[in-house]
Chain A
Amino acid sequence: MAVSSYPEPEAKTAAKKGAGAALFRWVDERLGIEEILAFARHKTVPEHAHSFWYYWGGVSLFFFLVQVFSGVLLLVYYRPGVEAYESVRQITYDIRFGWLIRSTHSWAANLMVFAIFVHMFSVFFMKAYRRPREFGWWSGLALLGLTMVFGFSGYLLPMDDLAFFATKIGLEIPASMPVVGTLIADIVRGGPDVSEVTIQRFFALHVVVLPLVYVPLLFFHMWLVQRHGNAMPPAEEAKPEAERRTIPFFPDFFSRDMGMWLIALNVLAGLAALYPWQLGPQADPIAPAPLGIHPEWYFMSTFQILKAFGRWFPGEAGEVLGIGLFTLVLLLWAIIPLYDTRTHAGRRARAATWFGYFVLAGLIGTTIWGYWEI
C-alpha cells in the first residue's frame, strides 16, 4: 500500500468495529488486501447466453487442487518399486478411509480430464483463441497434454494387472515411431518390459517432474486470463457496446465460480463414495492379458483409431497412418488461432467451426466405437 494512504483511508472496513475488523485493518495496512478486493470488484466478466462455459476452466482448476491434496495424502502410504502393489492394497483395504482417498484421486483425475475437454471445446467454439489470446490456447493445450501424461503415469502406480497392460500397450505407441522409437520406449520403461523399475521412474515423473512443469504453466495460463479478461464469443462482439452486459468479478462471478466448485465437490464425493475405485489382482509379467482390457476413456479414441487403421492397413502401414492422422489433426487443432484470425464471422471462421464439429464428433464417435468393440 502506498505511503499516502497512511493514516488509514476512509475505506468501508475502516468504519467497522470489533476485533475481526481490527485484525483485518492490521493485515490490510501491511499487505494491501483492500486494494486487491477493490481491483477484484472493479474487474468485470461478460454476461451472455454462453456465460455458463466460462466456469469450466475454474472447475478444471478445482479438480487439479483436489489432485494435489489427495495425491499428497496417498504419498503418505504409497511405496514405489517392488512394494507398490502391496502398499496400494494396504491403502485400499487396510488403512482407514484409504479407499476413499484413493477413489477421490482416481475420480478427480477423470473428472479433471473431462472438465478440461469441456473447457477446451467451449474455448474453441467461442473462438476465444483469437488475438491476443493465442498463448492462452497453446498453454492450455500443453496443460491438457501434461494432464494426460499425469493420467497415464499415475495409472501404472498401483501395479495391478490392468495398470501393467495399459502401460505396456501405451508405450507401444512411442515404440512404433521410426528409428528412435525403441530407444525412447526403453528409456521410459527402464528396460525391455514394464517392471518395478518402470514404476519408480513413473513415480518420479508423476509426483516431481510433472508438477514442476505443470504448476508454472498453470500460473502462466491464469495470468493470461487475468491479463486479457474473458473472451467474448463472436455473437457478443457483433452487438453494439451498449447492449453488452457485464457482471463484477467480485463478488458476483466469484460466488458463482464457488457455486460450481461446490457442485463439482458434490459430484466428486458422490462418485468416489458410491463407486469406489477397484484394485485388480497383482500384475504378473507372465500371465495373459485379462479379457476386455481397454484404456481409460480419454485414450479410447486414440486406441480405437490405431486399432481400426491396423485392421484396414495391415502391418506397419496401419500404425504409421493412424499416428500420422492423429498428429495432423492435433497440429491443425493447435494452429487454429493462426488460421481463424478474423474477428467477425467470415469463411475461415466458419471453416474453423466445422473443423471443431469434425474433431468433437470424431472423438466422441471413435470413443463410442471403441467401447462398442470391447
Chain B
Amino acid sequence: MSEPNTPENARKMEPVEEQPASAARRAFVRLGVGAVGAGYASAIGYPIYAYLATPAQRAAAAAAVTQTQLDGADKLPAGSAMMFRFGPKPALLIHHADGTWVAMTAVCTHLGCTVQYEAPENRIFCACHGGVYDARTGANVSGPPPKPLTQFRVEVTDGSIVISRA
C-alpha cells in the first residue's frame, strides 16, 4: 500500500479491500485483549500463589538455620539414639556404645521417608523400601538409597548438645 494508513483511507478502502488496515487493527485489538487478560490473570494468580506458598516459604526460611541446641541430650544412654528437629526436617542423634556421638539428617535419600536407628544391628534403616545406612558415617550401604545421609557436627557440653552444619 503506497497510500498513508490514515483512518480516512482505512474507511475508504473497507468495502473494496479490507485487508491491511483491519488486519492490523485486529492484531492490535487481539494484543490489547491478551495483555489485559494477562494482567487480570496475574493480579488474581499472584496473590493465590503467595497465599498457598506461605508455609513452604516459611519452612524454607526455617531450613536456613545452621545450628540447634538440644538441652539435656547429653544424658542419652550409650547404645541408643534420639530424633530431633533440625530446622523443619527430622534428624537423628546416635550415642554409640563406645561413647562417640554422631548426628545426621534422618531423611532417606531415596524417597524422603524418615529413617530409624536399629541398635541390635547398629545400622540406620529405612522402613519404606529397606534402605540401609552406616550408623557412623551415614554412608548408603544397601538397598535403594542413592546417596549417603548428611552428617552434622556434634559438640557435647555439660547439660546440652549443640548440633551444627558440618
Q: Number of A-B pairs whose CB atoms are under 8 Å?
A: 27
B47 touches A95 (CB 8 A): no
CB < 8 Å: which of A96, A100, A265, A269 contacts B54? A96
Nearest to B43 among chain A residues (CB) is A269
Chain A, 61-102, contact with B by CB distance < 8 Å: what is the 0/1 string? 000000000000100100000000000000000111110110
User: Bound complex: CA of A94 vs CA of B40, how far in Å?
Assistant: 25
Contacts of B47 in A (CB 8 A): 96-97, 100-101
B50 touches A96 (CB 8 A): yes
- State the majority secondary structure of interface residues on A: helix
CB < 8 Å: which of B40, B50, B52 contacts A76? B52
State which residues 40-87 of B face A: CB under 8 Å: 40, 43, 47-48, 50-54, 57
Q: How far is the CB of B23 from chain A (nearest CB, A)?
A: 16
Q: How far is the CB of B49 from chain A (nearest CB, A)?
A: 9
User: Bound complex: CA of A351 vs CA of B127, how far in Å?
Assistant: 78
Chain B: residues with CB nearer than 8 A to chain A?
A: 40, 43, 47-48, 50-54, 57
- State the majority secondary structure of interface residues on B: helix
Contacts of B52 in A (CB 8 A): 73, 76
Q: How far is the CB of A322 from chain B (nearest CB, A)?
A: 43
State which residues 42-58 of A face B: CB under 8 Å: none
B54 touches A95 (CB 8 A): yes
Contacts of B57 in A (CB 8 A): 96
Contacts of A96 in B (CB 8 A): 47, 50-51, 53-54, 57
Most buried by A among B40, B43, B51, B54: B51
User: Bound complex: CA of A265 vs CA of B36, how far in Å?
Assistant: 14
Could you show 18 A-B contacts with beta carbons less than 8 Å apart? A73-B51, A76-B51, A76-B52, A95-B51, A95-B54, A96-B47, A96-B50, A97-B47, A97-B50, A98-B51, A98-B54, A100-B47, A100-B51, A101-B47, A101-B48, A101-B51, A265-B40, A269-B43
Contacts of A97 in B (CB 8 A): 47-48, 50-51
Contacts of A265 in B (CB 8 A): 40
State which residues 86-127 of A face B: CB under 8 Å: 94-98, 100-101
Q: How far is the CB of A258 from chain B (nearest CB, A)?
A: 12
Q: How far is the CB of B68 from chain A (nearest CB, A)?
A: 24
User: Bound complex: CA of A100 vs CA of B46, how far in Å?
Assistant: 12
Nearest to A70 among chain B residues (CB) is B48
User: Bound complex: CA of A76 vs CA of B54, how far in Å?
Assistant: 11
User: Bound complex: CA of A98 vs CA of B51, how far in Å?
Assistant: 6
User: Bound complex: CA of A96 vs CA of B47, how far in Å?
Assistant: 8
B50 touches A73 (CB 8 A): no
User: Bound complex: CA of A95 vs CA of B43, how far in Å?
Assistant: 17
Contacts of A100 in B (CB 8 A): 47, 51
User: Bound complex: CA of A76 vs CA of B52, how far in Å?
Assistant: 8
Q: How far is the CB of A156 from chain B (nearest CB, A)?
A: 23
Nearest to B36 among chain A residues (CB) is A262
User: Bound complex: CA of A352 vs CA of B48, how far in Å?
Assistant: 47
Contacts of B48 in A (CB 8 A): 73, 97, 101
User: Bound complex: CA of A96 vs CA of B50, how far in Å?
Assistant: 6
Nearest to B57 among chain A residues (CB) is A96
Q: How far is the CB of A101 from chain B (nearest CB, A)?
A: 6
For the complex of A and B, list the 9 residue pairs with the smallest distance between their C-beta atoms, beginning with the closest: A97-B47, A96-B50, A97-B51, A95-B54, A96-B54, A97-B50, A100-B47, A101-B51, A96-B51
Nearest to A100 among chain B residues (CB) is B47
User: Bound complex: CA of A73 vs CA of B48, how far in Å?
Assistant: 8
User: Bound complex: CA of A358 vs CA of B48, how far in Å?
Assistant: 44
Contacts of A101 in B (CB 8 A): 47-48, 51
User: Bound complex: CA of A95 vs CA of B50, how far in Å?
Assistant: 9
Most buried by A among B43, B50, B57: B50
User: Bound complex: CA of A101 vs CA of B45, how far in Å?
Assistant: 12
Contacts of A269 in B (CB 8 A): 43
Contacts of A98 in B (CB 8 A): 51, 54
Nearest to B46 among chain A residues (CB) is A97
Contacts of B50 in A (CB 8 A): 96-97
Q: Given A76-B51, A100-B47, A269-B43, 10 other A-B contacts at CB below 8 A?
A: A94-B54, A95-B51, A95-B54, A96-B47, A96-B53, A96-B54, A96-B57, A98-B54, A100-B51, A265-B40
User: Bound complex: CA of A98 vs CA of B53, how far in Å?
Assistant: 11
User: Bound complex: CA of A94 vs CA of B55, how far in Å?
Assistant: 10
Most buried by A among B40, B43, B50, B54: B54
User: Bound complex: CA of A265 vs CA of B50, how far in Å?
Assistant: 20
Q: How far is the CB of A71 from chain B (nearest CB, A)?
A: 13
Contacts of A76 in B (CB 8 A): 51-52
